[in-house]
Amino acid sequence: MATTTIPGELFLLLTNDAGRQDSTQFRRQALAAAAVTELTLREKVELSTDRRPRVQVQDTASLGIPVLDQALGALTELDGKPLTSVISHRSMDLTEVIGESLVAAGAVQRRDGWFTTTWPAHDDTLERALRSRVALAVADPRDASLQDGILMELLRALGIAHRILRTDLPGLSRRELDQRIQALEIDHPAAAAMKRVVQDMTAAMMAAATAGGAAAAAGG
């Protein structure tokens, strides 16, 4: 289910109670980056070692998880393209599939407007459990999972970790939280490899977001 995937959990953290993206205008790119990261962890795709990494699909078999299957299908069509362009590609917009999965789980509702769809909170049980887990991982890194580390690093890369988590971690400044996230050492066999993947992913995410913002400004 999307609720237990990295992009699904990131969606919960980046969406406010009114159902709009919170603290960032780059939720779409962040969700795409999270999906590529998870598919790398699941050995469905890998990133090349080029200075500008390219996404290379290794296994197209379905995972039975809608958000990851949609992302994998899109990546199959984009196979070999630079990570930056992949994250910003329209086929990697996972908002709808994640939102619908969270509606099915009872966490959010769907509200269609004239121009946009919002996903207002319905039952915050999942999000409260997620926030408690992440706060515990920051307070005691021995309890941090690889997924916790990836989520927090994506938030830190966006420059919004403190804005998103400050009520869950009272007393920590933005600088202190960022330092704790950077210092996390995850006890997982894939942790070292995933650290490099997340670094590539966050750099590409920010480049794609910046390019998208510049294009929107020029168009306006």
For the stretch 11-63, pLDDT in tens is 999 999 999 988 778 888 889 989 999 999 999 999 888 888 899 999 999 99
Q: Does the residue 216 lie in any domain? A: no
Specify the pLDDT at position 110: 96
Higher per-residue confidence, 208 vs 10 = 10
Specify the pLDDT at position 47: 87
Summarize the confidence of residues 203-215 as an average pLDDT.
65
Summarize the confidence of residues 134-161 as an average pLDDT.
88
CATH of the domain at 13: 1.10.3630.10
Please state, for a pLDDT cut of 70, what percent of the chain lies above it. 90
Of 67-71, 103-107, 142-146, 185-189, the range with the lowest mean pLDDT is 185-189
pLDDT band, residue 2 (cuts 50/70/90): low
Q: Does the residue 215 lie in any domain? A: no
Q: Does the residue 219 lie in any domain? A: no
Q: Does the residue 108 lie in any domain? A: yes
State how far the Cα of 176 lies from the Cα of 164, in Å rounded to an integer: 14
pLDDT band, residue 216 (cuts 50/70/90): very low
Specify the pLDDT at position 44: 96
State how far the Cα of 79 lies from the Cα of 81, in Å rounded to an integer: 6
Instruction: Please count the structural domains in the chain.
Output: 1
Specify the pLDDT at position 97: 96
Under 8 Å between Cβ of 69 and 86: no
For the chain, what percentages of helix, strand and coil (3-state, to nearest 5) are there?
A: 60, 5, 35
Phi-psi region of 80 (alpha: psi -120 to 50; beta: other; left: phi over 0): left
Q: Does the residue 218 lie in any domain? A: no
Q: Does the residue 217 lie in any domain? A: no
Q: Does the residue 25 lie in any domain? A: yes
For the stretch 86-119, pLDDT in tens is 888 999 999 999 999 999 999 999 999 888 899 9
User: In terms of residue numbers, what domain contains 13?
Assistant: 2-210
The two three-digit tokens of residue 4, written as one number? 């237990």
Higher per-residue confidence, 210 vs 47 = 47
**pTM for this prediction:** 0.89
Specify the pLDDT at position 194: 72
Q: Does the residue 45 lie in any domain? A: yes
pLDDT at 128 over 70: yes
How much is the mean pLDDT over the chain? 87
